[in-house]
């Protein structure tokens, strides 16, 4: 936040005065800090990526707000099926399942849900079982 404010302070002369609050804030900071033109130039050079970062954060915020506002983007069916499945397990079983899923996340990502083939595949994901016990002797 501080970087963004300093960046705004340094670049305030280069932007439109559309946001009255921002104009007031930057003018207060300028008078309070009494920065020299050289300092403002240095701040401007140091904060080149700051504007891009702020724009990226606003983009992410817009996306999250859009997802929240448009409930159709959330797949309630998946939540419902997951809730039904997890409700069948007790806390210990659920904990072990989540631990196993986390441990085998890479193999789970490799699963092909569209083109399910029968039999052995040379590129098939390798799942590990016995997460709590470690790898069995001889493996």
Q: What is the DSSP letter of 14?
A: G
3-state secondary structure string, 41-100? HHHHHHCHHHHHHHHHHHHHHHHHHHHHHCHHHCCHHHHHHHHHHHHCCCHHHHHHHHHH
Range of the domain at 117: 75-139
What pLDDT, on the 0 to 100 scale, is given for residue 61? Answer: 92
Same-domain pairing of 16 and 68: yes
pTM confidence score: 0.37
What pLDDT, on the 0 to 100 scale, is given for residue 92? Answer: 92
What pLDDT, on the 0 to 100 scale, is given for residue 93? Answer: 92
CA–CA dist 66, 78 (Å, integer) = 20
What pLDDT, on the 0 to 100 scale, is given for residue 118? Answer: 64
Same-domain pairing of 90 and 105: yes
Same-domain pairing of 17 and 52: yes
Burial of 113 (0-12, 13-18, 19+ CB in 10 A): exposed
What string of pLDDT tens digits covers the 139 residues of the chain?
A: 666 677 776 666 555 556 787 778 778 887 888 878 888 788 777 777 777 787 888 899 998 888 778 766 666 777 788 888 889 999 999 999 889 889 988 888 888 767 766 656 667 777 777 755 544 444 4
CA count, 13 A, side-chain hemisphere, 42:
5
Pull the structure tokens for residue 36: 């020299």
Same-domain pairing of 25 and 80: no
Same-domain pairing of 105 and 61: no
The domain boundary, picked from 20, 50, 72, lies at: 72
The domain boundary, picked from 47, 72, 97, lies at: 72
Structural domains counted in the chain = 2
What pLDDT, on the 0 to 100 scale, is given for residue 137? Answer: 46
The domain boundary, picked from 38, 72, 106, lies at: 72
Same-domain pairing of 89 and 50: no
Nearest to 95 by CA among 132, 49, 66, 67: 132
């Amino acid at each position: 936040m501080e970087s963004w404010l300093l960046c705004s302070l340094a670049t305030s002369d280069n932007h439109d005065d559309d946001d009255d609050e921002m104009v007031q804030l930057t003018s207060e900071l300028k008078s309070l800090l009494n920065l020299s033109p050289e300092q403002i130039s240095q701040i401007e050079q140091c904060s080149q990526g700051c504007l891009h970062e702020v724009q990226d954060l606003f983009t992410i915020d817009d996306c999250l707000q859009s997802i929240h506002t448009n409930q159709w983007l959330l797949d309630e069916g998946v939540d419902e099926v997951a809730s039904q499945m997890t409700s069948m397990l007790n806390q210990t079983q659920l904990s072990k399942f989540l631990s196993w899923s986390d441990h085998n996340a890479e193999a789970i990502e490799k699963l092909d849900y569209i083109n399910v083939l029968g039999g052995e595949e040379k590129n098939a994901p390798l799942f590990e079982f016995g997460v709590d016990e470690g790898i069995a002797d001889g493996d």
